[in-house]
Each structure stands twice: as structure tokens, then as C-alpha cells.
């Protein structure tokens, strides 16, 4: 490399550092120091290592990049602007402002070039594991002609401190995900101060124990050739994920705030920016990007164009199973896939967790992207995928044994969904959805098509007691925007719930019973896809409406039969999914739940939110107890007798 080339690259890195100070300063908010110290690593990745074409950010076979410490978002935005992904200088100037393309933390789907939504630490780390699983699966099933790329990421002390990173790193090492390469920014800084006050882990030993390839390159954070060599060496390791550990100094090269914990946040203001730019030999001009630097980066942004075009031509000529491949890539089914969903006859008795498993099994061939499993509860949750096991030895299998790693499972599923090529499924008991909540929230925020299967959905779990009996969980999940929460009443509704999950965008929560439930008259109609519908209806205007979900619907049907026989016109409404019901027209919703008619809601869980639909609610607003399920249900008033009493009282 010539002296002029070296000087240009250093100037380019200085420009990244200048933007990393300027944009947060314009916003009077943000994180500057980490982006500054990571500028050389980002420069190397975007100019020397990654295979991408900025003119086609959605090219299916591009290398993926994840900035797990999303607070350093200005680093990613600077690279996306400089290399030509469409962000302008004006977008950088609008950093953290209303409706800008440069929000405080990266958001997938909002800004071209952002692969995952990061910010909550550890999530991006685990997303990358999911992306690596998806890449390995596609390459094994369809060949390297259509899928052959790497997953790169930058991770921080905070990412590695969060428990989700331990779960995900353990599984990644076990699976030997050789296309996963992380740079660990070991800057020894946290918000509270230098990490020595709270952390004494040996990160290298930790990751070697997980089965990762570890390359500790010391204080090479400014050495472009050493960084490049480390990345290229990691690419040669095919049987295990790689982590490059580099010591950096936050805020480099500030005369005042290098290695200063305050540089984690917004510390570089007028005087500090001026002194740092002077140290770099830059003019004290905000958002300074010289033409030669922009030309250099734009050339880097298009250097993958030839490879991209060649790969797309090969992929277009590929003679494999195109229908199966397209269904995987589009995360949907082959034509008429929903016809494979089973239906059940009135009078059969089957737990919805079992019916859900049968529904998934029935569409495994017609929805070939379905891939996943359970958190050590595969059989219990109906997430057994009888199409081989995805392992270090066999990448073609679709069953993943996530192990007891609920949080990691959720975040890995999101990475799989956002990578594309599969429909990720993960199952555990509903009570453990708490362990997954961070990932579930990000699935909703990212509109990731993850299917969360949560079973053992009420105090009907019985003798296991309150530690295993979900009470507040369905209400808590319904509080998450953009998450469909479906609690089917019987096997037919469970099958239809799978139809909704596969046939829709975004995440779906399937809430399934442990206990057997009777198949009810009218559920085979498919109306449950509307979120709520009339299941039992008397002639004429009803005197009373009973509305319920899940295992409580059949009890309401029994109560309604007796009340209708005695002359009280009683309607039963099954409302398995509030979110789908809200999408229906006001006329339809009012036709199902007519205004002015006394309405009683019944659900074996928190009553929170039910008063928007009902005048009175039978629910559970305390923790459960340990006893046989039938005894618990009776004690908590989830019984035909109590429903009848409360309905009669409501009628006055």
C-alpha cells in the first residue's frame, strides 16, 4: 500500500470519527466515544472484508453486519451514508429527530442497510446466531449457488454481560456455526465507570470453553492490516464461530476524553470536538466529508456489484426445487398449503398443544421453511419437527434443540426470521414467556415473522403450583404492540391459528392448553381467523353474551345451553385473538359483541383489559395454587356453576 493510500484511509477514518461527534452534538443527544474508537474496524469491514453491494441492500446473498451495541448507531449510519446505501448528510444531521432515517438505535425495516433492531444489549449478539443458522440451513438445503455468505458483528462488554449472550454463544459453539464472525470491542468501559469495577471475566477463556475460535489481537484497534488479517483468518475457520478480541480506547483520539467512561455518552461538544478534530488534522467544520473520501467509500460500496450480479445470474439459472426455495425465502407456503391443515369432528377431545403440533406437522412439506423446536420441551409443546435435526454434523435438518435457553431461543428466532429463508418456531411453557420477553418485544418492533408457541396456558397446569401456572402472562403479551396473541378454544381453532401465523407477516404468539378440550360445534367454520366470532347464537337479539378464550369457551357453551333452554337468550362468543378482532370493521365487531347487551367475559388469567369487551369478568388476579387442575379451576371460579351464578347476577 502506498503512502498516499495510507493517508487517504486515515483521513477516511477521521471523517467517521468527525461524523460520530457531529451528529450527536447536533441532536444534543447520543453516544459518541464508542463509534469513534470503532471507526478503524468499521472501515476495514466495509472496505476490505464484507461482500455487499450498497446499490442493492436486500441482495439475498450479501454478507450481514450486526451492530449489537446499538447505542453506537452513528457509526453504522456513517458507514451507510459514506458507502452509498442512500442515507444523506441531511439524514445524519437529523440524527435522533422526529421521522428521520437515523433514529437513536438502529431499526430494521426503517433504514436501508440495517439488518436487525439493536439497542437492548445482547439481542444483536443472539440475532447473529440465528442468522448464521439460517445461512447454514439454506446453503445445505439448496446449495452454495444460492446461499454462501458470512455474518459479521461488533459486540461490546455490555452485550457479553447480558445473560442472553451466554445462552446464544453456548448454542452457537455447540452447533459449530463457522460463518459467524464477531469483533469484541474490549474497551473496558461501562456507564458506571471502567469495567474493572464490575467485570473480571476472561472473555477468551469463556468463548474457548463454548467451542468458539478465539483470536486475541491485543491493542490492534488502530492497526488496519491486523484487523483485516484477523477477519480473513476467521473466514478460514469452518467448524466453529469466531470471536476477535481487540482492546480499544473509547473516544480515540480525543486529547481530553480518550479512555474516559464519560465518552460513552454525549461528552463531545464544541470545545472537545474542536480539539479532537485538530488532533486529527481536520478542519473544525461540522459534517465535513471531503470529496476524495466520499469517492473512496462510494467505490468500496460498489466493489461487490460484479460479484452480486454474477451470483444472481447463477441463482436465476439454478435448476433446483424452485417452489420450495421460493417458499422458504418468502417465509410462506407452497400454493394451497393451508388446505393441509387438519380439521376435527365435534365431540373429539384433544389438547390444543397437541392439535397445534399436528397442524404444524401437517404443513411441514407445504411450508418448507418451518424450522425450530422447543426449549427442552419439544414434545411437551408440540414443536417436534420430523425432518431431521439441525446439528454441527448435518445442516439440512429442520429440528433445532434450543435447550433450556428461552431468551436465547427467542432472539435467535428473530435473527433467523430477519435473515430470511425460514419460518422460525420456538416453544416453551407460557409461564416462561417472561424469560423471552425482551426478544418477543423486539420481534414485534422488528416485525420479525417468529412463531412463539407457549403451552400449559393456565392454572390448569395443576399440581405444579403457582411457579408454573401463568396468570398475568397473556395480558402482558397482549400489551405488546404488533404481536398477535391467539388462544384457541379447541383443536379446530388451534389449526386455524397456525394458518394465521404462517399466512401473516410479523410475530405470532400461540397460547395452547395442556389439558384436553372438547371440539365444539361451529369452530370448523374458520371464523376464528377474524379474531372473534359468534359460536352459539339464539334466535333473535340475545339477552346475554358470554365471551371467552381457550379452555373457558366450552364451559360457556355448556352454560349457554342451559340458559337458552330456560328461556334466557344467551350468545357465546369465542375471542381467541384481540388483535385480529380489532382489525375487523366496527360493524362486524358490533355484530359479534352488540352494544347494550349484558356481557360476561371468562378467562383463566388476569382480568386486565377485558372490560373493553365486557361488563363483568371472571378471571384470576392472584397467583395460583398446587392441587389437581379440576379442583383449582373450581376454587378459582372457572366453573360452570360460577359462570351461571355471575351471568344471572349480571342480568339482575
The set of catalytic residues is: 406
DSSP 306-358: HHHHHHHHHHHT--S-HHHHHHHHTTS-STTGGGGS----TT-EEEHHHHHHH
Query: 73-83 and 291-302 are packed helices; what angle lies between their axes, rounded to 10 degrees?
Result: 90
d(CA 425, CA 597): 40
Would you state the cell numbers that stand for residue 20, as one nine-digit string?
A: 460520530
d(CA 367, CA 558): 37
* Helical residues (DSSP H) of 529-621, grouped into ranges: 553-565, 578-582, 586-592
Q: Number of helices (H) and strands (E), helices first, in the chain?
A: 25, 19
Q: Is the dihedral of CA 156, 159, 165, 168 positive or negative?
A: negative
Helix/strand/coil (H/E/C) assignment for every residue in 27-64:
HCCCCCHHHHHCHHHHHHHHHHHCCCCCCCCCCCCCCE
Among candidates 409, 317, 330, which has minimal Cα distance to 368?
Answer: 330
Among candidates 131, 54, 56, which has minimal Cα distance to 448?
Answer: 131
**Across the strands, what pairs with 235?**
none
Distances 521 to 365, 493, 538, 582, 592 between C-alpha atoms, Å: 30, 11, 14, 24, 17
Task: Judge whether 356 and 382 are in contact, CB under 8 Å.
Answer: yes
Q: Is 596 helix (H, G, I), strand (E, B) or coil?
A: coil
Cβ-Cβ contacts under 8 Å for 154 (sequence gap 6 or more): 38, 41, 42, 66, 67, 68, 69, 72, 182, 183, 185
Task: Judge whether 558 and 572 are in contact, CB under 8 Å.
Answer: no
Task: Judge whether 156 and 224 are in contact, CB under 8 Å.
Answer: no
Helix/strand/coil (H/E/C) assignment for every residue in 396-437:
CCCECCCCCCHHHHHHHHHHHHHHCCCEEEEEEEHHHHHHHH
Helix (H) or strand (E) holding 599: strand 599-602
d(CA 138, CA 143): 7
Q: Is the dihedral of CA 258, 263, 267, 269 positive or negative?
A: positive
Amino acid at each position: 500500500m502506498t503512502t498516499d493510500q495510507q493517508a487517504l484511509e486515515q483521513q477516511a477514518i477521521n471523517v467517521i470519527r468527525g461524523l460520530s461527534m457531529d451528529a450527536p452534538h447536533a441532536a444534543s443527544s447520543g453516544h459518541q466515544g464508542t463509534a469513534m474508537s470503532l471507526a478503524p474496524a468499521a472501515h476495514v469491514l466495509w472496505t476490505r472484508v464484507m461482500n455487499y453491494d450498497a446499490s442493492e441492500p436486500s441482495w439475498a446473498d450479501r454478507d450481514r453486519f450486526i451492530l449489537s451495541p446499538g447505542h453506537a448507531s452513528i457509526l453504522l449510519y456513517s458507514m451507510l451514508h459514506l458507502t452509498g446505501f442512500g442515507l444523506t448528510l441531511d439524514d445524519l444531521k437529523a440524527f435522533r429527530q422526529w421521522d428521520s432515517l437515523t433514529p437513536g438505535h438502529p431499526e430494521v425495516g426503517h433504514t436501508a442497510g440495517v439488518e436487525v433492531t439493536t439497542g437492548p444489549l445482547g439481542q444483536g449478539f443472539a440475532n447473529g446466531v440465528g442468522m448464521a443458522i439460517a445461512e447454514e440451513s439454506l446453503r445445505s438445503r439448496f446449495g452454495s449457488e444460492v446461499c454462501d455468505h458470512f455474518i459479521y458483528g461488533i459486540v461490546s462488554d455490555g452485550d457479553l454481560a447480558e445473560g442472553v449472550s451466554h445462552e446464544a454463544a453456548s448454542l452457537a459453539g455447540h452447533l459449530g456455526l463457522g460463518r459467524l464472525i464477531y469483533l469484541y470491542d474490549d474497551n473496558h468501559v461501562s456507564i458506571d465507570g471502567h469495567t474493572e469495577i464490575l467485570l473480571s471475566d476472561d472473555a477468551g477463556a469463556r468463548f474457548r470453553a463454548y467451542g468458539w475460535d478465539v483470536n486475541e489481537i491485543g491493542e490492534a484497534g488502530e492497526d488496519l492490516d491486523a484487523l483485516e488479517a484477523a477477519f480473513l483468518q476467521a473466514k478460514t475457520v469452518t467448524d466453529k464461530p469466531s470471536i476477535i478480541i481487540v482492546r480499544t480506547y473509547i473516544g480515540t483520539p480525543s486529547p481530553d476524553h480518550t479512555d474516559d467512561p464519560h465518552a460513552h455518552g454525549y461528552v463531545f461538544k464544541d470545545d472537545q470536538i474542536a480539539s479532537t478534530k485538530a488532533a486529527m488534522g481536520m478542519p473544525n467544520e461540522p459534517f465535513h466529508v471531503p470529496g476524495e473520501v466520499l469517492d473512496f467509500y462510494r467505490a468500496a460500496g460498489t466493489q461487490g456489484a460484479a460479484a452480486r450480479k454474477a451470483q444472481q445470474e447463477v441463482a436465476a439459472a439454478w435448476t433446483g426445487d424452485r417452489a420450495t426455495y421460493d417458499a422458504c425465502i418468502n417465509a410462506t407456503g407452497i400454493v394451497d398449503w393451508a388446505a393441509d391443515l387438519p380439521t376435527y369432528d365435534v365431540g373429539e377431545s384433544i389438547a390444543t398443544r397437541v392439535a397445534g403440533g399436528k397442524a404444524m406437522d401437517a404443513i411441514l412439506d407445504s411450508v418448507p421453511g418451518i424450522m425450530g423446536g422447543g426449549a427442552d420441551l419439544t414434545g411437551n409443546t408440540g414443536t417436534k419437527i420430523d425432518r431431521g435435526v439441525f446439528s454441527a454434523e448435518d445442516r439440512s435438518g429442520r429440528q433445532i434443540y434450543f435447550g433450556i435457553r428461552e431468551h436465547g431461543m427467542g432472539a435467535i428466532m428473530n435473527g433467523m426470521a430477519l435473515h430470511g429463508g425460514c419460518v422460525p418456531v420456538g416453544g416453551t411453557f407460557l409461564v416462561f414467556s417472561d424469560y423471552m420477553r425482551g426478544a418477543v418485544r423486539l420481534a414485534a418492533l422488528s416485525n420479525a415473522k417468529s412463531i412463539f408457541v407457549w403451552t400449559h396456558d393456565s392454572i390448569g397446569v395443576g399440581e405444579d403450583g403457582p411457579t408454573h401456572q401463568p396468570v398475568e402472562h397473556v395480558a402482558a403479551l397482549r400489551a405488546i404492540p404488533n404481536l398477535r396473541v391467539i388462544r384457541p378454544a379447541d383443536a379446530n381453532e388451534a389449526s386455524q391459528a397456525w394458518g394465521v401465523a404462517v399466512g401473516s407477516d410479523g410475530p405470532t404468539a400461540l397460547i395452547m392448553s395442556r389439558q384436553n378440550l372438547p371440539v365444539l360445534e361451529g369452530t370448523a367454520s374458520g371464523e376464528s381467523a377474524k379474531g372473534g366470532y359468534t359460536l352459539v347464537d339464539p334466535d333473535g337479539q340475545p339477552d346475554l353474551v358470554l365471551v371467552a378464550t381457550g379452555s373457558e369457551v366450552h364451559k360457556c357453551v355448556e352454560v349457554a345451553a342451559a340458559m337458552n333452554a330456560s328461556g334466557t337468550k344467551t350468545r357465546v362468543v369465542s375471542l381467541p385473538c384481540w388483535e385480529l378482532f380489532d382489525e375487523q370493521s366496527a360493524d362486524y365487531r358490533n355484530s359479534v359483541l352488540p352494544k347494550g347487551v349484558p356481557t360476561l367475559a371468562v378467562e383463566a388469567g388476569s382480568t386486565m383489559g377485558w372490560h373493553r369487551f365486557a361488563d363483568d369478568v371472571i378471571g384470576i388476579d392472584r397467583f395460583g395454587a398446587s392441587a389437581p387442575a379440576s379442583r383449582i379451576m373450581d376454587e378459582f371460579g372457572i366453573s360452570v356453576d360460577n359462570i351461571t351464578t355471575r351471568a344471572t347476577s349480571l342480568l339482575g
